[in-house]
Amino acid sequence: MVVASIDIQGGKVVQLKQGADLVLQRDNVQALACEFDKYGEIAVIDLDAAMGKGDNAALIRAVLPLGECRAGGGVRTVDDAARLVEWGAKKVIIGSTAFRAGGGFCVNHAFLEKVARRIGRERVVVAVDAREGEIVVDGWKTRTGLPLIETAHIVAPLAGELLFTSVENEGMMRGTDMDAVRLLKEAVKQEKDPATLLTVAGGVSAIEEIRAIAEAGADVQLGMALYTGKIALGEAFVESLNWKKCGGMIPVIIQEAKDGQVLMTGYADREAVRETFVRGNVCLHSRTRDALWMKGANSGQTLRLRRLRADCDRDALLAVAEASAGVCHTGAWSCFATEKGLRKESRRTPSASPYLNARAASLTPYVPGEQPRDKACIKLNTNENPYPPPPSVIEAARKAASETLRLYPDPACTELRGAVAARYGLQPENVFAGNGSDEVLAFAFAAFFESKTKSESPAHEEQPVLFPDVSYSFYPVYAALWDVSCETVPLRDDFTLDAAGYLRQNGGVIFPNPNAPTGLALGKTDVTRIIEYQHCIGKVVIVDEAYIDFAAPGLSAVDLVETYPNLLIVRTLSKSAALAGLRVGFALGNEALIDGLCRVRDSFNSYPVDRIAQAAALAAIGEAAYYDTLVRRIIQTRERVSAELAQSGWTVLPSSANFIFIKHKTLPGTTVFQRLRENGILVRHFDRPRIADYLRVTIGSDEETDRFLAIARAAKFP
């Protein structure tokens, strides 16, 4: 493999001679990363951080998601390393810190072991920078007295890869120290552990050297020779392959960039690989005609190259490309399947109608909390408000239930949006109203998160939308409905949300604050951190604030809407406003995001909020004082029930919502759920990993709460 260097200093890409003299400088970091990604991995180094003169963190964060990057420069702590991985680095390069311990110079076993435990040994690259056979650190200024080969031998089992820089040659382009390379290759051979890889940097200046390094079984990293045009990456790539082993003809697997479908296989010789890079379209060698085969030259069925990669022993290629049309000569989309897209194993449930299309049959719908017919039961299962909405709201709904119902409602909900905007200090253009916040969320998934089959730009390629592993269970349902790939980020052991888990390459982020069903709130600093990061990588973050009115004042991210064009806040009138039956929810965000929601709505149903709902919701917005009283009362009850349950030995998470998340001392969640039910109390139980022993209990009226408490506190649980 050929690794291209991107050394960053003062916000620019630079090349230094001997680690000191600036030779050249470029501004276009992102464009370089996208270009280099076609050929191999990219080494992104923060020279300022390495030299202890500030850092280029924001820029590094923006670059790492753009290619398969290894990052380094100034990695001093395990957290530094973990942060780079979170930002999208495939590997982390560790220099000076690997060789400093106990006030002197030696291999820092403890540190490297800790890093390996945190990010995985295979991600750890230890930089062995050597001058005349001696390891040097601190930007090559400090000699360590550590001999290169012996030290490499010791450090190899602690790393997935060593990066050898011959300092006297770096930036000089006067050739590689091949003897050192061979000795190092011997030194990194592992008997028990998986192989430690070796990459050679520093002074590589000729194609023949790349061939020799490849033959020695090492990868090569290019800096100065690349930027000065002395070596072209395409040419370096060709020479890094093991042509000898495959008799001059290397097999190529061609994979669709958008969905990972394998399209075809073929063979390439040196010429075909070169032409692939030159034309930007996959070229092969036709064995039938024994000639260069420029795929699509006649048929127009081209394969636009995204990236080319060699396999582990450099005798097979993977071409990731975008197919302009079906690729097979039979007219099929691929040589292995007639249809476009990855074939999913059918998840059709046995009872599903044979008339359902594949998408509908494969859905696993959300299961809402039960709405029992038995009026006598105490309903603490769907987070409804136990108190009624104010009389003015009921009156407004009554008035709207008039002969005007023959007319469609205002599709834009103009008056309602105006009132909501005024309430939050925003403009009506910053507000969207929908049929419950569930609908707003569904529209948001459709508008802002890329569907697997639709992604066109490299930035969207297979990047999953992130949300907590324990969260609102409608999110994965929307993701499946719109074919959005998603990934869950584990909450910490105490169920708090770990903001750092979201600071990595992704296709968007959504989380409730406070979270459901845990009720735990994420602090404003962490919320802002996530929004800021998403802003940096150009992705949307949705903060679902369904329960925010029950949390501490000042937690809402609504004041960040004007600062962050990528922030969408979703609110509902179902909880604090006691209007779950009305079905009204909002989104607050930048005008362009709101416009995105309108596009989806108007492709689906132009009138989701009916006349009665608009009128009653408008009245509700004007009743802030009434609702403040209701919310205060619910919070008081919540604190009381939480304290009493905790005293009786239940685990109670500290809630910022209108429900609590609790666990009995000994009994499994299903048993407690059943027993409460037998006693006429309906709560919510999620039979899901990590939370199967927990119950979510809505805060009811004081009377309802007392009945619930009486049963829950009973010395011997009935």
- With contacts defined by CB under 6 A, name the span among 130-138, 145-153, 436-444, 615-623 that binds ligand PMP: 436-444
> Amino acid identity of 440?
V
Task: Report if residue 580 touches ligand PMP, rule: CB under 6 A.
Answer: yes
- Choosing from 223, 390, 436, 464, the residue that interacts with ligand PMP (CB under 6 A) is 436
Q: Is the alpha carbon torsion for 91, 93, 98, 100 positive or negative?
A: negative
- With contacts defined by CB under 6 A, name the span among 112-120, 435-443, 481-489, 606-614 that binds ligand PMP: 435-443
Residues 323-362 that bind ligand PMP (CB under 6 A): none
Task: Report if residue 41 touches ligand PMP, rule: CB under 6 A.
Answer: no
| CB 198, min distance to ligand PMP, A | 50
Non-local CB neighbours of 583 within 8 Å, separated by 6+ positions? 435, 436, 439, 574, 609, 613
DSSP 376-437: TSEE-SS---SSPPPHHHHHHHHHHSSGGGGSPP-TT-HHHHHHHHHHHT--GGGEEEESHH
CB closer to ligand PMP, 470 vs 546: 546
| CB 415, min distance to ligand PMP, A | 20
Residues 78-137 that bind ligand PMP (CB under 6 A): none
Task: Report if residue 161 touches ligand PMP, rule: CB under 6 A.
Answer: no
- With contacts defined by CB under 6 A, name the span among 5-13, 159-167, 572-580, 595-603 that binds ligand PMP: 572-580
Distance between CA atoms of residues 242 and 309, nearest Å: 13
CB closer to ligand PMP, 36 vs 472: 472
Distance between CA atoms of residues 711 and 706, nearest Å: 9
| CB 584, min distance to ligand PMP, A | 7
Closest by Cα among 570, 453, 561 to 510? 570
Q: What is the DSSP letter of 493?
A: T
Task: Report if residue 516 touches ligand PMP, rule: CB under 6 A.
Answer: yes
Task: Report if residue 473 touches ligand PMP, rule: CB under 6 A.
Answer: no
Please tell me whether residue 151 adopts helix, strand or coil conformation: helix
- With contacts defined by CB under 6 A, name the span among 302-310, 431-439, 480-488, 700-708 that binds ligand PMP: 431-439
CB closer to ligand PMP, 136 vs 542: 542
| CB 384, min distance to ligand PMP, A | 9
Residue bearing tokens 């179902």: 574
**Is the Cβ–Cβ distance between 176 and 169 less than 8 Å?**
yes
- Cis omega (within 30 of 0) on the bond before 194? no
| CB 312, min distance to ligand PMP, A | 44
CB closer to ligand PMP, 96 vs 381: 381
Q: What is the token pair recorded at 295?
A: 């795929």
**Is the Cβ–Cβ distance between 152 and 188 less than 8 Å?**
yes
- Choosing from 41, 438, 450, 461, the residue that interacts with ligand PMP (CB under 6 A) is 438
- 592: exposed, middle or buried (C-beta count within 10 Å: 0-12, 13-18, 19+)? exposed
Burial code (b: 16+ CB inside 10 Å, e: under 16) for 656-678 equals bbbbbbbbbeeeebeebbebbbe
| CB 286, min distance to ligand PMP, A | 56
- With contacts defined by CB under 6 A, name the span among 105-113, 176-184, 411-419, 433-441 that binds ligand PMP: 433-441
129 catalytic per annotation: yes
Distance between CA atoms of residues 208 and 198, nearest Å: 18
| CB 627, min distance to ligand PMP, A | 15
**Is the Cβ–Cβ distance between 26 and 13 less than 8 Å?**
yes
CB closer to ligand PMP, 438 vs 532: 438
| CB 564, min distance to ligand PMP, A | 20
Distance between CA atoms of residues 252 and 269, nearest Å: 10
| CB 575, min distance to ligand PMP, A | 7
CB closer to ligand PMP, 68 vs 544: 544
Task: Report if residue 74 touches ligand PMP, rule: CB under 6 A.
Answer: no
CB closer to ligand PMP, 135 vs 516: 516
Q: What is the token pair recorded at 219?
A: 């990868």
| CB 660, min distance to ligand PMP, A | 14
Of the candidates 7, 37, 46, 177, the residue annotated as catalytic is: 7
E strands along 491-584, which residues? 509-512, 541-544, 567-572
- With contacts defined by CB under 6 A, name the span among 35-43, 242-250, 430-438, 636-644 that binds ligand PMP: 430-438
Task: Report if residue 420 touches ligand PMP, rule: CB under 6 A.
Answer: no
Name the CA dihedral angle for 468, 474, 476, 479, rounded to a multiple of 10 degrees.
-120
- Choosing from 432, 472, 482, 708, the residue that interacts with ligand PMP (CB under 6 A) is 472
**Is the Cβ–Cβ distance between 644 and 667 less than 8 Å?**
no
| CB 602, min distance to ligand PMP, A | 20
DSSP 112-129: HHHHHHHH-GGGEEEEEE
CB closer to ligand PMP, 277 vs 659: 659
Closest by Cα among 557, 553, 614 to 589? 557
- Choosing from 496, 574, 590, 655, the residue that interacts with ligand PMP (CB under 6 A) is 574
Size of the site for ligand PMP (CB under 6 A): 12
CB closer to ligand PMP, 5 vs 437: 437
Contacts 24+ apart (CB under 8 A), 637-645: 637/699, 637/700, 637/701, 637/702, 637/705, 638/550, 638/699, 640/705, 641/697, 641/699, 641/705, 641/708, 641/709, 644/709, 644/713, 645/709, 645/712, 645/713
Parallel, antiparallel or unpaired: strands 100-101 and 91-94 = unpaired
How many Cα atoms are found within 13 Å in the side-chain-facing hemisphere of 460?
15
Task: Report if residue 557 touches ligand PMP, rule: CB under 6 A.
Answer: no
CA distances from 132 to 98, 126, 166 (A): 19, 18, 8
CB closer to ligand PMP, 56 vs 518: 518
Task: Report if residue 389 touches ligand PMP, rule: CB under 6 A.
Answer: no
Q: What is the DSSP letter of 67?
A: S
Task: Report if residue 209 touches ligand PMP, rule: CB under 6 A.
Answer: no
- With contacts defined by CB under 6 A, name the span among 201-209, 250-258, 319-327, 432-440 that binds ligand PMP: 432-440
Name the CA dihedral angle for 33, 39, 44, 47, rounded to a multiple of 10 degrees.
-100
Task: Report if residue 544 touches ligand PMP, rule: CB under 6 A.
Answer: yes
**Is the Cβ–Cβ distance between 38 and 307 less than 8 Å?**
yes
CB closer to ligand PMP, 243 vs 482: 482
7 catalytic per annotation: yes
Of the candidates 48, 129, 219, 544, the residue annotated as catalytic is: 129
Task: Report if residue 437 touches ligand PMP, rule: CB under 6 A.
Answer: yes
Task: Report if residue 578 touches ligand PMP, rule: CB under 6 A.
Answer: no
| CB 487, min distance to ligand PMP, A | 19
Task: Report if residue 569 touches ligand PMP, rule: CB under 6 A.
Answer: no
CB closer to ligand PMP, 267 vs 424: 424
Task: Report if residue 585 touches ligand PMP, rule: CB under 6 A.
Answer: yes
Which helix (DSSP H) or strand (DSSP E) does residue 471 occupy? none
Helical spans, DSSP H, in 37-88: 47-50, 57-63, 78-86
- Choosing from 160, 223, 386, 512, the residue that interacts with ligand PMP (CB under 6 A) is 512
Task: Report if residue 545 touches ligand PMP, rule: CB under 6 A.
Answer: no
**Is the Cβ–Cβ distance between 611 and 404 less than 8 Å?**
yes
Task: Report if residue 546 touches ligand PMP, rule: CB under 6 A.
Answer: yes
CB closer to ligand PMP, 111 vs 586: 586
| CB 512, min distance to ligand PMP, A | 4
Residue positions annotated with a catalytic role:
7, 129
Residues that bind ligand PMP (CB under 6 A): 436-438, 472, 512, 516, 544, 546, 572, 574, 580, 585
